[in-house]
A and B are shown apart, each in its own frame.
Chain A
Amino acid sequence: MGILIETAQTPAKWLNRSGPVLGLFLVCLIFGFLVGPQFFNPGNLELIARQTAIVAVAAIGMTVVIASAGIDLSVGSVVSLSTVVMALLLRSGVPAFAAVGGAVAAGVLCGAIVGLLVTRLRLLPFIVTLGMMLIARGAAKGLADEQRVEAPVTWINDLLRSPSGSQSWLLLPVGVWAIIALSLMTAATLEYTRFGRHIFAIGSNERTARLCGVPVEACKLAVYSIGAGFAGLAGVMEFSKLSVGDPTVAVGFELDVIAAVIIGGGSLLGGRGSIFGTLIGATIMAVIQLGSSQRGLPNWVQQIVTGIIIILAVALDHWRQHGHNNSRS
């Protein structure tokens, strides 16, 4: 006990920072060993990046939501709604850029509705987004007439394709670069802006945030809109992979997204989480999926492994917290 800051935190802090990276390293090592050196071929690495992309985009948004102690269960449905909106717009002759805008706007709209319900009616985000999960899915099916929506081919279909010919200097698919740029922007927003710090303040102790004059309601509204906006963007990526609008796609996707955030160090209690960690988390999941399938492991093994990783990540998190409490007394 004393007024000086204990330095015994360093191992825990170190683990806090590098835990997800360490996990990624470990998972890569294991699959490198299982699959063989070809696992680290540039082609394969790019495959991993592409596989990661869709979950990663949605997970960036989810990080923001979870940092504010919220949750969004509707992202899977929003993704499917977004692919449908995208396909319908393209089919009606709207330019590709505008179609992307429309798809993201559909997501933002869903998020804004969630945000309004959460702040105005003081409903739990778990419940509201559970409802939105069904509403968005239903809307997607209704708009698509319960079938896949074919759409003309545009540059969007190349978003996640390896650059070739005159564009090969890009090294990575355009979509992956877009994700990197968005991650940097979001990370900077969370870390360095007033708005970002307010999100963490709300997630950490909402009552205090309110007492200190943080505009809690406006922040939450923004948080859910941003979260679902990213889900809409994930829908654009999904569309580029599928090249059709599919109202039945991405069922259960939200769980992958939440898992990526949690593996990356986010806490469902709010106040913690980082974009960098989340990206690592999404990559870990992609490595497991790809590695397992390349090794010829059946799907059920993948699922068990992913489940174990999630529990392990949360257990580590718990242990970290526990360490804090011990050193407090």
Chain B
Amino acid sequence: MAEAVTQALRFEMTGISKSFGATVALLDVYFKAAAGEVCALVGQNGAGKSTLMSILSGAAQPDSGSMMLEGVAYHPRNPLEARRSGVAMIYQELSLAPDLSVEENIVLGMEPAQYGFVRRGEMRAKAEDALRQLHHSEISPEVPVGRLSVAQQQLVEIARALAIGCGVLVLDEPTSSIARGDVERLFEIIGRLRDQGHAVVYISHFIDEVKEVADRFVVLRDGRNAGGGEARSATRKEIVEMMVGRPLETLYPRTRRNPGEAILDIASGIALHRGEVLGIAGLAGSGRTRLLRRLFGMNRPWKSGFGMVSEDRKGEGLAMDMSVTENMTMPRLGAWISPSKQSAAARRWIQDLNIRCHDDRQEVSGLSGGNQQKVALARLLHCAVDVLLLDEPTRGVDVGSKAQIYELIDRLVVEGKAVLLVSSYFPELIGICDRIAVMHRGKLGLPRPVAEVDEHRLMLEATSGHFD
């Protein structure tokens, strides 16, 4: 850290506050990054990370507080101004023009031109220069960006920021949509950017990544600074506890459960009982989703007390453009709809599940991943289902919401409902299930009590298919 102090401060945000209506998004937040530093910004969804970064990148204005960039006061009025001052934000959903070529994207908005005609040679040189800086000259400058892989597109976007001379790069969850091999390449690039003296802000949920790539981390919780430190020396547990604001032991609640009668046959000889959480450990492509769908489709869903939460929340789990209320009450509509009754019901679930939204008419697309998932779960509760089929219910969900979802699952089985939980995240299966079965290539093993399995063994079985 002593080294960091001597380094030039790239930017500093002091006393930043921002409210949206009655919701306080940020309160008196301090954040800075030095030249040649990778600083991770971590926190649950809704902790204020995005708001803070949209203020830094000019997409939003703070209610109060001040910002300095390279030692001078900095008040970007829009993202364009921020970019021109040297701050570029690279969003999860990449912002490139897919029909234009790599080089055209890199120089977009600052094309070298004479009498309105683009100077192609100069454009090419600029693009190649930026790509070389990233050590990825193998990306051909003339290929349309839409033909590149997501990882390559990400590189192009970073190259674009470099081409206009941005000294501060904000990467928003950059690894959420790329493969593992590409993640390593990205980390190499981030390392190079640091060595070249850029300040990199790295927003992520993944603690392991943060420890791997960042020098320093800063935690936000509920819109306030909640700690930070040196990334490599901090333990996972410390970081998570700062994010959640409570000891980790309480993440997986497990009230005493009393399994009851069998309520659903899953496969020959395997039944799901009331009052238990049965886990299916399976990796993508193991047939676990097909199994759930078969179970769901065989019965007359909803009416016969079955409910499912899809792993594909945006694609089929929720109607993103419709309101919280509409999403919750969708399967249980009569011929006539009474909006006031629906709203009342929805408000009850919003309160019960602690869903963060402006009101029950807000579009689901505006909620964080964790809150969206709670809406999907509330739909099952509203239908008073007895059997919940949950496919990766905590994917893309922040730690705090995860804890709440685990609590909810625990509460439901204690009330006598049955939960079938499919997941590829084995710690959570071990944390909340009573029995776990492994699935591999469409084959389901026999469930075993959770006390008899461990993460290592689950992984071995799920990847090899050798049950015992």
Cross-chain contact of A209 among B108, B118, B136, B160 (Cβ < 8 A): B108
Whether a CB of chain B sits under 8 angstroms from the CB of A5 is yes
CB distance from B141 to the nearest CB of A (A): 11
B138 x A201 contact (CB < 8 A): no
A194 x B98 contact (CB < 8 A): no
Q: How far is the CA of A3 from the CA of B178 in the complex (A)?
A: 12
Whether a CB of chain A sits under 8 angstroms from the CB of B66 is no
Whether a CB of chain B sits under 8 angstroms from the CB of A204 is yes
B182 x A201 contact (CB < 8 A): no
- CB neighbours (8 Å) of B270 from chain A are none
Chain A interface, number of residues (Cβ within 8 angstroms): 31
- CB neighbours (8 Å) of B97 from chain A are 200-201, 204-205, 208-209, 271
Whether a CB of chain B sits under 8 angstroms from the CB of A147 is no
Whether a CB of chain A sits under 8 angstroms from the CB of B104 is yes
Residue of B nearest to A204 (CB): B97
CB distance from A268 to the nearest CB of B (A): 13
- CB neighbours (8 Å) of A214 from chain B are 108-109
Q: How far is the CA of A212 from the CA of B111 in the complex (A)?
A: 11
Residue of B nearest to A2 (CB): B149
Residue of B nearest to A206 (CB): B97
Cross-chain contact of B118 among A193, A210, A211, A213 (Cβ < 8 A): A193
Whether a CB of chain A sits under 8 angstroms from the CB of B147 is yes
Cross-chain contact of A1 among B110, B146, B160, B182 (Cβ < 8 A): B182
Whether a CB of chain B sits under 8 angstroms from the CB of A17 is no
- CB neighbours (8 Å) of A324 from chain B are 146-147
A194 x B100 contact (CB < 8 A): no
Whether a CB of chain B sits under 8 angstroms from the CB of A4 is yes
A212 x B108 contact (CB < 8 A): yes
Q: How far is the CA of A47 from the CA of B409 in the complex (A)?
A: 75
Per the 8 Å Cβ criterion, residues 95-132 of B in contact with A are 95-100, 104, 108-111, 113, 116-118, 120
B150 x A3 contact (CB < 8 A): no
Cross-chain contact of B111 among A6, A194, A211, A270 (Cβ < 8 A): A194
Whether a CB of chain B sits under 8 angstroms from the CB of A220 is no
CB distance from B358 to the nearest CB of A (A): 23
Q: How far is the CA of A234 from the CA of B116 in the complex (A)?
A: 27
Whether a CB of chain B sits under 8 angstroms from the CB of A207 is yes
CB distance from A260 to the nearest CB of B (A): 20
Assuming the contacts A197-B100, A204-B99, A213-B110, asked whether A192 and B117 have C-beta atoms less than 8 A apart, the reply is yes
Q: How far is the CA of A210 from the CA of B79 in the complex (A)?
A: 9
Whether a CB of chain A sits under 8 angstroms from the CB of B323 is no
Q: How far is the CA of A1 from the CA of B177 in the complex (A)?
A: 13
B151 x A3 contact (CB < 8 A): yes
- CB neighbours (8 Å) of A322 from chain B are none
Per the 8 Å Cβ criterion, residues 264-295 of B in contact with A are none
- CB neighbours (8 Å) of A19 from chain B are none
Cross-chain contact of A204 among B98, B109, B185 (Cβ < 8 A): B98
A197 x B96 contact (CB < 8 A): no
Assuming the contacts A211-B83, A213-B80, A272-B99, asked whether A194 and B118 have C-beta atoms less than 8 A apart, the reply is yes
Whether a CB of chain B sits under 8 angstroms from the CB of A328 is yes
Whether a CB of chain A sits under 8 angstroms from the CB of B315 is no
Cross-chain contact of A213 among B84, B146, B148, B182 (Cβ < 8 A): B84
Q: How far is the CA of A203 from the CA of B149 in the complex (A)?
A: 21
A203 x B118 contact (CB < 8 A): no
Q: How far is the CA of A5 from the CA of B142 in the complex (A)?
A: 11
Cross-chain contact of B138 among A3, A207, A209, A213 (Cβ < 8 A): A3
Whether a CB of chain A sits under 8 angstroms from the CB of B143 is yes
CB distance from A266 to the nearest CB of B (A): 11
CB distance from B88 to the nearest CB of A (A): 9
B148 x A5 contact (CB < 8 A): yes
A271 x B113 contact (CB < 8 A): no
Whether a CB of chain A sits under 8 angstroms from the CB of B337 is no
A193 x B100 contact (CB < 8 A): no
- CB neighbours (8 Å) of B151 from chain A are 1, 3
Whether a CB of chain B sits under 8 angstroms from the CB of A9 is yes
Whether a CB of chain B sits under 8 angstroms from the CB of A253 is no
- CB neighbours (8 Å) of B117 from chain A are 192-194
- CB neighbours (8 Å) of B96 from chain A are 205, 208
- CB neighbours (8 Å) of A6 from chain B are 147
A197 x B79 contact (CB < 8 A): no
- CB neighbours (8 Å) of A209 from chain B are 97, 108-109
Residue of B nearest to A12 (CB): B147
Residue of A nearest to B140 (CB): A5
Q: How far is the CA of A72 from the CA of B98 in the complex (A)?
A: 23
Residue of A nearest to B112 (CB): A194
Per the 8 Å Cβ criterion, residues 162-190 of B in contact with A are 179, 181-182, 185
- CB neighbours (8 Å) of B139 from chain A are 3, 5
Whether a CB of chain A sits under 8 angstroms from the CB of B152 is yes
B104 x A197 contact (CB < 8 A): yes
- CB neighbours (8 Å) of B152 from chain A are 3
- CB neighbours (8 Å) of B100 from chain A are 197, 200-201, 204, 271
Residue of B nearest to A328 (CB): B149
- CB neighbours (8 Å) of A213 from chain B are 80, 83-84, 109-110
What string of 1s and 0s marks CB contacts (under 8 Å) between B337-367 and chain A?
0000000000000000000000000000000
CB distance from B58 to the nearest CB of A (A): 10
Whether a CB of chain B sits under 8 angstroms from the CB of A195 is yes
Per the 8 Å Cβ criterion, residues 205-237 of A in contact with B are 205, 207-214
**7 tightest CB-CB pairs across the interface, nearest first?**
A212-B109, A271-B99, A204-B97, A213-B109, A204-B99, A208-B95, A212-B108
Can you give 16 A-B contacts (C-beta < 8 A)? A1-B151, A3-B149, A3-B185, A4-B138, A193-B117, A200-B97, A201-B100, A204-B97, A207-B95, A208-B108, A209-B109, A211-B79, A211-B95, A212-B109, A271-B100, A324-B146
| 4 extra A-B contacts, CB within 8 A, seeds A193-B118, A213-B80 | A1-B151, A192-B118, A201-B104, A213-B109
